[in-house]
Structure 1
């Protein structure tokens, strides 16, 4: 079996040391669509090194630098065409700096769940500065088609519904047709997001946008619309990837504010409000 659950969960954490500069941060933000309009002060905080802010979702691309990808972990040998991102969570302990050197990243497979026709690999990572300051914890749920049925536990079933009222905020964000090509420069080179033939073999008519791009784009919309552009207010951000999104579509982000917790739902405007991100929660500081 390409996934050896016992080997994957029993292995020691994979340790890496990573560094980044303001160029990495700016490229990531551009991959989310930041910088439109390019001279707008609210956008320049994401795209100009002077007083650069760092979205907490930048943490999700740092794993590619730290050797935390699935291909670097024991017991995992899978076909990328069968892989979809199932869920993501980032817990922020300290605002991410625009530049850092020697950041310690620990990555491990904490669980492998058996969903019958598929497996879900739970990948956990944590990062800290050289002086020991904790930066963030990250948790990814990777859905792998055709790898279930090995007799493992199904894992928890969780659903988070927003309040039963109209959203307090709704924002629509247009994406570029080449959004995935730009985003992948931050480290996620899965050909599913660039190669039309690969996408068709995976069951899609055309390459799809990275789930983590939708994840970051949604948080940027939330920060800009609800949190006054202050990235440091984000404490925790989690979601389930409920559907695909195609580059060039418009994202509709609805937000319900419950005071300290935001419930969020992201959908595609062009495809009759098809849900892209569900069970989404942002915990924030006042």
Structure 2
């Protein structure tokens, strides 16, 4: 059935703890080796910026359900762009209060474009992060007038194109990469882990989670530009080609303010494009 543009303004809330067990498992799923991600004797642990997606996942499902989509239509959803903004380093803590709000519903050539905003705060009401998550539901119509979001996370300048001087690094993805990420991020979608479900959706096999690709890219970008994760204040990108497993992805980063990046799969197609990482100045 069509996605109603009247869905704009729908909101849902949840509370949860961002505890050490979750933060350490997520870091391990990404292959992080820095002791700071695991040393619980030093106080609250630093949290990888993309673990925010795991906290948001249950509310994203609620927003999709409110759209009235069938199971088949939900499976046609493609994560198309993503942006996370953090005013300060994210640490383990709880309870966290999270609100999801549907910001926009518009028609695009491939299908219905849905933008959801997530806003997280701590128990005292201090802002922890804001995420803009965009999905395209392929072949799904929109009912009612287009209602564009105040901020579209897919609107990003293509400043990396045609520039030389990129630093590059590879990331190897074993066949079970998505299974490990699924459990450690607590994001359960069978298109990433179940061959039959992925093939029914028209894919050759399970694909890596979009947020997994972004998280791996961010970690490698920070290595390439010699920056600490605690300095990340914004990461944004478009998601394009799917990433299959086993495979290798190549991360290219252009140092600057902001840092620009992209991620290519084996045949050269871009999995992530127009990537931006804004760092707190030293």
TM-score (norm 2): 0.88
How do 1:122-141 residues align onto structure 2 when only pairs under 5 Å count? 122-141=115-134
**In the alignment, which of 14, 17, 21 is matched to residue 15 of structure 2?**
17
Q: Does 1:89 align with 2:83?
A: yes
Give the alignment partner of residue 35 of structure 2, picking from 17, 34, 44. 44
Q: Cα deviation per residue 1:163-197 (whole Å; 9 max; x = unaligned)?
A: 63323311111122101001111222111011111
Q: For the residues of structure 1 that align with 2:201 and 2:13, how far apart are their CA atoms?
A: 32
Once the two structures are superposed, what CA deviation does each residue of 1:62-88 show, in whole Å capped at 9, x if it has no partner?
113xx4123356334243321110010
Tell me the CA shift for residue 46 of structure 1: 3.2
Instruction: Judge conservation of contact 2:4–2:142 (CA < 8 Å) in 1.
Output: no
> In the aligned structure 1, how far is the partner of 2:224 from the partner of 2:110?
40
Answer yes or no: is 1:62 the counterpart of 2:61.
Answer: no
Match runs of 1:189-268 below 5 Å:
189-228=188-227, 230-258=228-256, 260-268=257-265
Match of 1:40 in 2: none
Q: 1:21/1:158 Cα in 2 relative to 1: closer, same or farther (>3 Å)?
A: closer
Q: Secondary structure at the match of 1:213?
A: helix
Post-superposition shift, 1:149?
5.2
In 1, are the aligned partners of 2:2 and 2:142 still within 8 Å (CA)?
no
Alignment of 1:276 with 2:266, yes or no, is: no
SS at structure 2 position matched to 1:10: coil
User: Judging changes above 3 Å, is the alpha-carbon distance between structure 1 residues 33 and 273 closer, same or farther for their aligned structure 2 residues?
Assistant: farther
Deviation at 1:48, TM superposition (A): 4.6
Q: Pick the aligned partner of 1:77 from 69, 73, 82.
A: 69
Distance of 1:252 and 1:20 partners within structure 2: 31
Q: CA–CA distance in 1 between the matches of 2:76 and 2:247?
A: 24
Contact 2:106–2:142, Cα closer than 8 Å, also in 1:
no
1:272 partner SS: coil
CA distance, structure 2, for counterparts of residue 135 and residue 160 of structure 1? 26
Q: How far off is 1:151 after superposition?
A: 5.7
Q: How many residues align?
A: 270
**Aligned match of 2:3:** 3
Which deviates more from structure 2 when the two are superposed, residues 211-220 or residues 76-85? 76-85
Q: CA RMSD in A?
A: 2.1
Q: After alignment, is 44-53 or 88-97 more displaced?
A: 44-53
CA contact (8 A) 2:12 2:100 kept: yes
Aligned to 1:38: none
- With over 3 angstroms needed to count, the CA separation of the structure-2 counterparts of 1:255 and 1:62, relative to structure 1, is same
Gaps of 5+ in 2: none
